[in-house]
Structure 1
Amino acid sequence: MTVSALEIAAALHLPPPTPQQQAVIEAPLTPSIVIAGAGSGKTETMANRVVWLLANDLVSVSGILGLTFTRKAAGELAHRIRSRIDQLSAARLTETVFDPFDSPTVATYNSFANSIFRDNALLVGREGDSSILSEASAWQIARRLVMGSTDDRLVGLDKSTDSLTEAVISLSRAMSENVVTSSEVVRMAEEFTGLAELPTGSKRVPTLNAELRASLQAVSALPVLVDLADRFAKEKVRRGFVEYSDQVALALSIAERVPRVAAEYRERFRVVLLDEYQDTSVVQTRLLSTLFGGRPVMAVGDPHQSIYGWRGASAANLGTFALDFTGDRSGALAFPLSTSWRNPVRVLDAANHLVAPLTEASTVPVSRLDPRPTAGQGQLDVFFGETVDEEAAAVAGWFAAELERPTPSGGVRSAAMLCRSIKRIGAFTSALTARRVRFHVLGLGGLLEEPAIADLVSALRVIYHPTAESELVRLLTGARWQVGLRDIASLSAVAVWLAERDHHHAKLDPALKQRIRESVVVDESRSLVDALDFVAEAPVGHRMLEHFSATGVERLRAAGRQLAFLRTRTGLDLPDLVNLVVQELLLDIEVAANEGSALGRASLDAFSEQIAAFIAADPSAGLGAFLSWLQEAEKRDRLSPRSDDPEPGTVQILTIHGSKGLEWDSVVVPRMVEGELPGKPQSKQGWLAFGELPYEFRGDSRELPVLAWRSAASQAEFAAAKQIFTEQIVDRYAEEQRRLVYVAVTRARGSLLLSGSFWSTTTKPRMPGLFLRELESAGLIPPDALPEGPASEDNPLAESTQLVPWPLSPLGSRAARVEAASRAVVDADAGATTPWSHDIDLLLAERRAGLEGEQLVVPTRVAASRFKDYVTDPDEVLRRLRRPMPERPYRQTRLGTRFHSWVESRFGRVGGSEQLDAGPGELDLDLDLDLDVDLDLDPVAASETPTIDGGAAEEEELQRLQVTFEASPWGGRKPEEVEIEIHLVLGGNIVVCKIDAVFRDGDRYQIVDWKTGRAPSGADDLEVKQLQLALYRLAYAQYRGIDPERIDAVFYFVSVDEIIAPDRVYSESELLALWEQVTATTAATSPGAPNPVAPTPPAPFSRRR
């Protein structure tokens, strides 16, 4: 007898599914497509379909495959499916007994492709353990290839190194994602260059017209770019790297060339769920249809939310699903999910109206979104001001009022400002600051907006680029040097004076000056950086110093000499150089002292992680390459989906592209004006732009604009064809902008504000954008919300003046009081101002610190594996924090690292913790603070010489550990989690717990921590190690929402094949009490003093081999 979805919901105490949801849940086992609108509950519906299939014995748990795009979405889907299976098992609706260690495979599209590649790589001549190439590493490898190329064709392209690097990477990925060979592209490019022979079509125009000349120049570059792309691909193979696009292409190659592999996957997975199908690329669709064509595949997506076309996604995939998976355009069932469980009525009405033109033109039927039965009216506000400053003030005021209101459940509201671009958000962040509204700019762009990081990057650009004038002005007028604007103007005059002179400062011949102007880019002939160097070394009384103030000269000399010193250190390794700049500019002290800094020291740490990611592929990478990559990385980061959780009480600022899949209580979409939202395409050239793959090679070419170049009989006909092509590009971009605003509007759970203003930095006013005008015409916003035109014919911002004291004092309103106090201190101790005073003070402070100790500031983030050090030996922690030293790389340490990696790879990151997709700009770059490669070295290992190279002995030892592990109690079991990192909040600090593995046995869980060193010998040693297991148990209990008493934790010392399990582990209250002792006593701890913190008497451990 069939169990219905309604019966299952009742038995599991879940809300009954709607008729639409029930149809999806009970759909027959045949290819089908679900058009799920924004917020329509697709994740819950997919999880409930899995339960229905299991309850009716239509599939086994392990026969289910679920794929989605982001790590967050995959984790959420996996968690819901696991929870529903647990509920189904408890409800006993079926006689089937579910194996607690059997779970469905839930992964991302790329991680699934990677598993195919990893398991079968040798079949295509590759190594399965190839490392993922990060964005930073890809940029560095491609850039080195470009710079090292001797191809004369590159000279004729007249492109910068960065432009060539970007083109090589982009073309390489496009060819991989569309399964195109180099020879095909080169052959087409050579054919296209034959258009140069076309007659003009007019006797009055005997030469090539501009349209054709520009097109020929771009397309003729393809052969040399393809050659570089091929070299890039070969270099990745040589170094053992693969990119995400490579994973899918290689998996496709395996599936097509080795039918046995495809057959195995079809046999293994009887039911396949494909989430966010509208975001799949051509090569992903081809792989999936090759593997699962004709099988029960259910694709879920929304063509209106296809906003990642720049990375190969296509809304047309939904329209061709039936053809791809059945061979028949009408061979698949179609189901709608059109109830929004997120948006209130007013917000939903606006979204439906804005997306209506796309609904009418869609190749698949898309239903209008309906509000949920209990939906409120919500709030839809509009503000359109005279200037961007007025707009920003209104937005800040709106957020301030919103955040004061509780959510319907009484909680603190979440909020976001979703921008088409975050390049010009200064007015908004300033207004939020003025209203004291907390905000957080997400992503790398947000990191670069942090004042300390902005100063750091500015300094790096100044010491590398002689034309980094804006960055230099930021530094000079900032808190450190506080140079006045009049002195900045005088510095500019020096730059002009130097540009007209040679290195002896003699005036240049007019003819030579003209030749210099013609040989360089505009404004490169003069440099504020050079002018600063001149001021720093100019003799006293030089006539070019006459226009500076005395204080200005003093400060400019100090700045110039310090920056010149840093310039002499650019030969240092990149991390060392950056650390030196941080110390010289006192940025580490600034972030520690600035109470208003949102991130503090964490911002510098995050920037260091970006550097580490960049130099991973090439430790010798230089400053110039890093600065170039940083700009490209920021752009990609803005366009990638984000997985950040909402921060109640804080306004998160991010791009609309980054908001996909997220939601907030209160949302603002600013700058809805002509030219911004909707915007205008940056280029109307399409595939005729530099480095673009011609559309005819794209898998979705049927949906793209067409350039009829082969049928052109003259240049005039080509120009006409190009005009039609350009119009199609503009129309297609307009559709993309409409999808973008639809995504933005549907992020709001309660309140939505749409804003704009006439005047910003433009010389002409920007009228209300098309989307605002459409809402006004539909009567969805008040008729008087949009002014007919600006009140002023000229930009008020250009005429307005604001008198402020400059330079601004870093002490703000406290400046006078602090400076008066400083003078009082100096006056009271006037006799202490000798040339040696500072050094004496430092020596006395060092002696005092040794005698009296100094306060230990416990970091916010603490690794679980280091928790015991804080508890048992705060003196050593104090010493290491005060003066950190690098660890020596022992063989035993590296062996532990390799063993952990092997175990992780062996288990393949099962379930929700399986290796997840991290597309461009989406990699988790958090420093692994708790790897716990066992540092309890045996006497032999501890006495050996530090080494960085492995050998036969290490390989033999690794193999011995692997054999031992295979025979252990866990060798044949499937873990619930592998290498999962959990952040545990304990007493105001975050304990970073990276758990090796979690196994499940019925309703109990077991945490296992692998150790490759020697087993502890004494009770005290065992006791302190128990702290780590206690933290892991508490963290996992909170992560899963289960009772800690249901969780056991053990150590497995693989080298001696010994399992050590505590008979009792510390409870949360005991851990908290220990930590409170640490934080309360570290201030009083001094070197050599008795340790005031000690754990309670050791709990007994059981040991077995």
Structure 2
Amino acid sequence: MISALTIARALQLPPPTPQQQAVIEAPLSPSIVIAGAGSGKTETMANRVVWLLANDLVAVPEVLGLTFTRKAAGELAQRVRSRIDQLAAARLTSVVFDPFDSPTIATYNSFANSIFRDNALLVGREGDSSILSEASAWQIARRLVTTSTDDRLITLDKSIDTITAAVLSLSRAMSENVVTSAEVTQMAGRFGELAELPTGSTKVTVLNAKLRDSLTAVQALPVLVDLADQFAREKIRRGFVEYSDQVALALAIAERVPRVVSEYRQRFRVVLLDEYQDTSVVQTRLLATLFADRPVMAVGDPHQSIYGWRGASAANLGTFAVDFTGDPAGALAFPLSTSWRNPLRVLDAANRLVEPLTAVSAVPVARLDPRPQAPTGTLDAFFGETVDDEARAIAGWFEAQLAQPGPGGAPRSAAMLCRSIKKIDAFTTALSERGVRFHVLGLGGLLEEPAVADLVSALRVIYYPNAESELVRLLTGARWRVGLRDVFELSRVGSWLAERDHHFAKLDPALKQRLRESVVVDEGRSLVDALDFVSDCPDGHRMLENFSPVGLERLRSAGRQLTFLRTRTGLDLPDLVNLVTQELLLDIEVAANESSYLGRASLDAFSEQIAGFVAADRTAGLGAFLSWLTEAEKRDKLSPRSEEPEPGTVQILTIHGSKGLEWDVVSVPRMVDDELPGKPQSKQGWLAFGELPYEFRGDAGQLPMLPWRASVSQAEFAKAKDAYNSEIVERYAEEQRRLVYVAVTRARESLLLSGSFWSTQLKPRRAGLFLRELAEHGLVAPDALPDEPENTENPLADSVMLVPWPLEPLGSRGERVAAAAQAVLTADPGAETPWSADIELLLAERAEALAGEKPVIPTRVAASRFKDYVTDPEAVLNRLRRPMPERPYRQTRLGTRFHSWVENRFGLVGGSEQLDVSGEFGMEMDFGTETEFGTETVFGASAESGFASADGLAASGPPAAAAGAGAGAGSGTGASGDAELERLQATFEASEWAGLQPEEVELEIHLVLGGNIVVCKIDAVFRRGTRHQIVDWKTGRAPSDAADLDEKQLQLALYRLAYARYRDVDPVDVDAVFYFVASDEVIAPARLYSEAELLALWERVAPALAG
């Protein structure tokens, strides 16, 4: 047997420690490795694989490694592949390694997904189901909520977004814990019987408040479960799965089909499970079902289990032996306790902070030991009077730390890890003042970028009438620069309007009182309404008297701009956002501002967020997007980040997001009472709205339990609930301790822990428990944590910052930019300069180059554009020479929506596959798209010669209504567009096609014709007896004359030829027709061009196209 030490020497690797060697050479049986933070678990796992291979205990393809993130999976895969290559080159063993063999290294979800996709039909699902993104899931769930007719929703007294979030959370929790809706509903019914319990006292006759609140939460479960079931059915109907579905469905397959289990057990003889403490109950069940009693090695650290909010269970490490062997003592246990990351002082702090957790851990956790010759490092602490003092101290610390070069002289990496990034303005301001480069990671950071913040503010203002703070941001910003006095006057106008009706008459006093008592936000004062009033109000109105002339002009400009944007909210969401960006000149702003190094990138990243949101439904509205944005930001802050450290830049992120990352220098701010450690937002646990009862969770044994079934009176229930709430608080305190341990162990060299007495609260907050513990044990300087604040009241409450307002948009560069602009305006354009001759030469060279340019004819041509090439090649050349954007015609939009509806109606998803019928692939981009130049909008009445109707008679029928070719971009998507779409849908439902099932829908075929590729996008293909029938849906008017008919049949002829090649059938056995839905006309060509005729047409115009 070749030892791990021998392998390390042969591969010229550092020798493993005794602990690492024990893990590497562990027997082939279930085992668990407790690997502390920075203990080299990835390297150890890779070396175990090498040891197994070198000793011929396993073949390369028989190794399975699973971890949580794609980043971690990529690192592990690269490490293992590199070690295998080194082993093969060292010729240490006689085993021959196939260079094309690779172990399977994947994320837990992708592994489950592979099981599901390969075996989906066994559980009645489709293996090619698409992954449902967070944005799309929110959109679908929200639509189910808003369209629900269930009267029980009214009794919930919750907002649409709150209910949507609860439906999604409950749906995923039920999936992750393999719970049926019937079980939850039945439990809720039994819990409701507690209302009948006696009060427990003859003096009390009303329902106990604690029981009442609990009943309110639990009685919401039945309607939420019903919506969760609808959400699950909708996902199936639309061919979607979520990540939680993948694992649950894979488990169902494994439990129902023993053959699948047998196949995976034979395929993988060794399994490595990384970050096992973060696995969920359903993931554990799946893995145990597949690999119980097999050589499974689980690696994890219970002290780093911080993702309980997403279903992870810290108890998994403690139950590993039972889960995989059935015996509590059936698994071997190994420690990895040498920290290869942290310096001595940081390590001492980390060990101290987790001592209470180690004492109660379900598995033995060794104290972290320093690596040989570990540096001392630095552990600094600061506790200031105010949060501004704290922010300045952190900024100064980072400035000093980043001024020192890192290893090899490279810039050092840095991070500020926050429990929450809601209130980081003081810190980012201080960093900016010091000139320290920083980057707020994640969606929250993206929304903090000035350009994106302005964009989102504008979107909120044009949608919400109460978006007052967002409106003030826009008005006082660089675009309009409205002064504070005029903003105050605008507020006064809003108050004046709030007391008047739509005729500006004063409201009845009783009605005003009811409005004051209303909790509906839309019924109070609105600055947005005030701005609309000021924009339209005639000069001389008494409510305009106190505005400054410049301020009034700017307010009216802003009002007109925002009113215009409000009229465009019917646009597709991406189009609307692009319009707002351009109208607010944000694209120009980020291009012109050299200090905004993330400006353009931030706008692009925001566009990606929008694209992801509308992926499931292009008709998604602005309101749904803004609601999702709030929820997505909340979830994003708690998710691990994939961004690599940026040397020389302070990355700002949450502690949850820092898991798996490390930096040279790290700061952890706001380590004060009620922040870090913080208090739970709720002590209710599963008695909160929309939560799955703990008794249904797979780790119920490790969760606080409420013995509600044993309660014989309301008073006894209230007493039990108090004890339960106390357990919730204790459990949360443990989670906070794990959180700070993760934060502290991210530092490779230097660590700063800080806090301050005063922030925004009314009472001072002393140093948090974790800071105090470190001070008590001498790990931070005792004088770093003052006992009492200098002020008895918050000094920030009365602090006043005097600044000129509005601010100069160009800052300190204002005078220089103005001088440069003036110099340009006054310059003599004809004056000779030292560069005049060079400029003339360059201009002449450009003119010569432009004159000789010839447009490049695309290799790929859309079938719908083929007629343009063969009928007017000169016009095509002109468009190629000077491409111009096409007007978004109303009928084109309507046609797109109708085609999407037909596709969804038939339940087939097309367009995902491009079929090349010749085996050749074009390498150039399409010129244009399948959308025609408004051709469907200009056709006249019914068809005449050259075509016959579907039954062989001349086509007839009433002419379609005018198509409205001049409609604007927003048409076809508003109320009138919806009505037109409904009429088309009704006509289609009464047509012959409604009762047929197509063979293909939205099929894209690449047809090679004369050296070019014609892209044919076929709407639908039906089997009619022994023949294939291609149908092209048209939502505009039917062709008006014979020439038009002849041109149109070119498209059908190409479709017929492409489909015949695709199916390998004779083109004469393929029919092709148009169905003009608006007029309910089926028009079939009497003849279609043959392949020879099509080729002849193309070759005839080829010389003209060649220029």
Q: TM-score, normalised by structure 1?
A: 0.78
1:826-837 paired onto structure 2 within 5 Å: none
1:908-987 paired onto structure 2 within 5 Å: 938-939=1009-1010
1:576-615 paired onto structure 2 within 5 Å: 576-615=575-614
Determine the C-alpha separation between the residues in 2 that align with 1:454 and 1:54: 54
Gaps (5+ residues) in structure 1?
Answer: 830-846, 855-864, 866-874, 904-932, 964-1013, 1015-1089, 1091-1105
What amino acid does structure 2 have at the position aligned with 1:794? E
What amino acid does structure 1 have at the position aligned with 2:412? R
How far the C-alpha of 1:707 sits from its partner, in A, is: 0.8
How far the C-alpha of 1:820 sits from its partner, in A, is: 5.7
Structure 2 residue aligned with 1:707: 706
How far the C-alpha of 1:737 sits from its partner, in A, is: 0.4
1:381-396 paired onto structure 2 within 5 Å: 381-396=380-395
How far the C-alpha of 1:937 sits from its partner, in A, is: 6.3
How far the C-alpha of 1:490 sits from its partner, in A, is: 1.2
The change in CA–CA distance for 1:884 and 1:404 in structure 2 (over 3 A counts) is farther
Determine the C-alpha separation between the residues in 2 that align with 1:705 and 1:876: 74
What amino acid does structure 2 have at the position aligned with 1:192? F
What amino acid does structure 2 have at the position aligned with 1:704? L
Determine the C-alpha separation between the residues in 1 that align with 2:778 and 2:28: 45
Structure 2 residue aligned with 1:17: 16
Structure 1 residue aligned with 2:986: none
Alpha carbons 2:265, 2:291 under 8 Å: kept: yes
Cα deviation digits, residues 293-328 of structure 1 (max 9, x gap): 010100000000000000010110000000000001
Structure 2 residue aligned with 1:647: 646
The change in CA–CA distance for 1:817 and 1:413 in structure 2 (over 3 A counts) is closer
Determine the C-alpha separation between the residues in 1 that align with 2:323 and 2:648: 46
1:599-998 paired onto structure 2 within 5 Å: 599-819=598-818, 897-898=913-914, 938-939=1009-1010
Determine the C-alpha separation between the residues in 2 that align with 1:882 and 1:300: 58
The change in CA–CA distance for 1:958 and 1:611 in structure 2 (over 3 A counts) is farther
Secondary structure at the aligned position of 2:439 is classed as: strand
The change in CA–CA distance for 1:593 and 1:694 in structure 2 (over 3 A counts) is same
Ranked by relative contact order (alpha carbons within 8 Å, sequence separation 6 or more), the top structure is 1
Determine the C-alpha separation between the residues in 1 that align with 2:1006 and 2:573: 28
Structure 1 residue aligned with 2:574: 575
What amino acid does structure 2 have at the position aligned with 1:333? L
Secondary structure at the aligned position of 1:409 is classed as: helix
How far the C-alpha of 1:520 sits from its partner, in A, is: 3.5
Secondary structure at the aligned position of 2:431 is classed as: helix
Structure 1 residue aligned with 2:361: 362
Structure 2 residue aligned with 1:171: 170
The change in CA–CA distance for 1:743 and 1:149 in structure 2 (over 3 A counts) is same
Structure 2 residue aligned with 1:458: 457
What amino acid does structure 2 have at the position aligned with 1:473? V
Alpha carbons 1:292, 1:325 under 8 Å: kept: yes
Determine the C-alpha separation between the residues in 2 that align with 1:347 and 1:959: 71
Determine the C-alpha separation between the residues in 2 that align with 1:750 and 1:569: 53
Determine the C-alpha separation between the residues in 2 that align with 1:962 and 1:603: 47
Structure 2 residue aligned with 1:68: 67
Alpha carbons 1:218, 1:691 under 8 Å: kept: yes
Secondary structure at the aligned position of 1:168 is classed as: helix
Cα deviation digits, residues 985-1044 of structure 1 (max 9, x gap): xxxxxxxxxxxxxxxxxxxxxxxxxxxxx9xxxxxxxxxxxxxxxxxxxxxxxxxxxxxx
Secondary structure at the aligned position of 2:666 is classed as: strand
Determine the C-alpha separation between the residues in 2 that align with 1:776 and 1:267: 55
The change in CA–CA distance for 1:884 and 1:502 in structure 2 (over 3 A counts) is closer
How far the C-alpha of 1:899 sits from its partner, in A, is: 6.0
Structure 1 residue aligned with 2:189: 190
How far the C-alpha of 1:205 sits from its partner, in A, is: 2.4
Alpha carbons 1:281, 1:314 under 8 Å: kept: yes
Structure 2 residue aligned with 1:518: 517
How far the C-alpha of 1:550 sits from its partner, in A, is: 1.4
The change in CA–CA distance for 1:357 and 1:958 in structure 2 (over 3 A counts) is farther
How far the C-alpha of 1:540 sits from its partner, in A, is: 1.1
Identical columns (%): 75
1:389-408 paired onto structure 2 within 5 Å: 389-408=388-407
How far the C-alpha of 1:412 sits from its partner, in A, is: 1.4
Secondary structure at the aligned position of 2:664 is classed as: strand
Determine the C-alpha separation between the residues in 2 that align with 1:335 and 1:663: 24
Query: Once structures 1 and 2 are overlaid, which stretch shifts more, 712-721 or 306-315?
Result: 712-721
Secondary structure at the aligned position of 1:797 is classed as: coil
Alpha carbons 2:112, 2:247 under 8 Å: kept: yes
Determine the C-alpha separation between the residues in 2 that align with 1:879 and 1:679: 64
How far the C-alpha of 1:592 sits from its partner, in A, is: 0.8
The change in CA–CA distance for 1:959 and 1:734 in structure 2 (over 3 A counts) is farther
Does residue 222 (structure 1) correspond to residue 221 (structure 2)? The answer is yes
1:97-496 paired onto structure 2 within 5 Å: 97-496=96-495
Does residue 44 (structure 1) correspond to residue 53 (structure 2)? The answer is no
The change in CA–CA distance for 1:898 and 1:170 in structure 2 (over 3 A counts) is farther
Determine the C-alpha separation between the residues in 1 that align with 2:428 and 2:80: 41
Alpha carbons 1:388, 1:760 under 8 Å: kept: yes
Alpha carbons 1:899, 1:958 under 8 Å: kept: no
How far the C-alpha of 1:606 sits from its partner, in A, is: 1.2
Determine the C-alpha separation between the residues in 1 that align with 2:717 and 2:332: 43
Alpha carbons 1:639, 1:658 under 8 Å: kept: yes
How far the C-alpha of 1:957 sits from its partner, in A, is: 7.9
Alpha carbons 2:1005, 2:1015 under 8 Å: kept: no
Alpha carbons 1:416, 1:654 under 8 Å: kept: yes
The change in CA–CA distance for 1:939 and 1:693 in structure 2 (over 3 A counts) is farther
Structure 2 residue aligned with 1:1044: none
Alpha carbons 1:896, 1:934 under 8 Å: kept: no
Determine the C-alpha separation between the residues in 2 that align with 1:876 and 1:653: 51
The change in CA–CA distance for 1:819 and 1:504 in structure 2 (over 3 A counts) is farther
How far the C-alpha of 1:489 sits from its partner, in A, is: 1.2
Gaps (5+ residues) in structure 2?
Answer: 829-842, 851-859, 861-876, 904-909, 920-1003, 1023-1027, 1031-1054, 1065-1094, 1096-1106
Alpha carbons 2:1007, 2:1016 under 8 Å: kept: no
Alpha carbons 2:277, 2:315 under 8 Å: kept: yes
How far the C-alpha of 1:515 sits from its partner, in A, is: 2.1
The change in CA–CA distance for 1:435 and 1:879 in structure 2 (over 3 A counts) is farther
Does residue 535 (structure 1) correspond to residue 538 (structure 2)? The answer is no
1:21-36 paired onto structure 2 within 5 Å: 21-36=20-35
What amino acid does structure 1 have at the position aligned with 2:15? P
Structure 2 residue aligned with 1:92: 91
Does residue 504 (structure 1) correspond to residue 530 (structure 2)? The answer is no
How far the C-alpha of 1:814 sits from its partner, in A, is: 2.8
How far the C-alpha of 1:203 sits from its partner, in A, is: 3.0
Secondary structure at the aligned position of 1:652 is classed as: strand
Secondary structure at the aligned position of 2:782 is classed as: coil
Determine the C-alpha separation between the residues in 2 that align with 1:684 and 1:274: 33
How far the C-alpha of 1:519 sits from its partner, in A, is: 3.6
Determine the C-alpha separation between the residues in 2 that align with 1:880 and 1:415: 49
Structure 1 residue aligned with 2:995: none
The change in CA–CA distance for 1:625 and 1:555 in structure 2 (over 3 A counts) is same
Alpha carbons 1:318, 1:364 under 8 Å: kept: yes
Determine the C-alpha separation between the residues in 1 that align with 2:887 and 2:406: 48
Alpha carbons 2:50, 2:83 under 8 Å: kept: yes
How far the C-alpha of 1:821 sits from its partner, in A, is: 5.8
How far the C-alpha of 1:409 sits from its partner, in A, is: 3.2
Secondary structure at the aligned position of 2:408 is classed as: coil
Query: Once structures 1 and 2 are overlaid, which stretch shifts more, 281-290 or 764-773?
Result: 764-773
Q: TM-score, normalised by structure 2?
A: 0.77
The change in CA–CA distance for 1:738 and 1:122 in structure 2 (over 3 A counts) is same
Determine the C-alpha separation between the residues in 2 that align with 1:849 and 1:564: 47
Determine the C-alpha separation between the residues in 1 that align with 2:448 and 2:622: 20
Secondary structure at the aligned position of 1:319 is classed as: coil
The change in CA–CA distance for 1:54 and 1:148 in structure 2 (over 3 A counts) is same
CA RMSD of aligned residues (A): 3.0
Alpha carbons 2:915, 2:1005 under 8 Å: kept: no
Determine the C-alpha separation between the residues in 1 that align with 2:431 and 2:848: 44
The change in CA–CA distance for 1:494 and 1:5 in structure 2 (over 3 A counts) is same
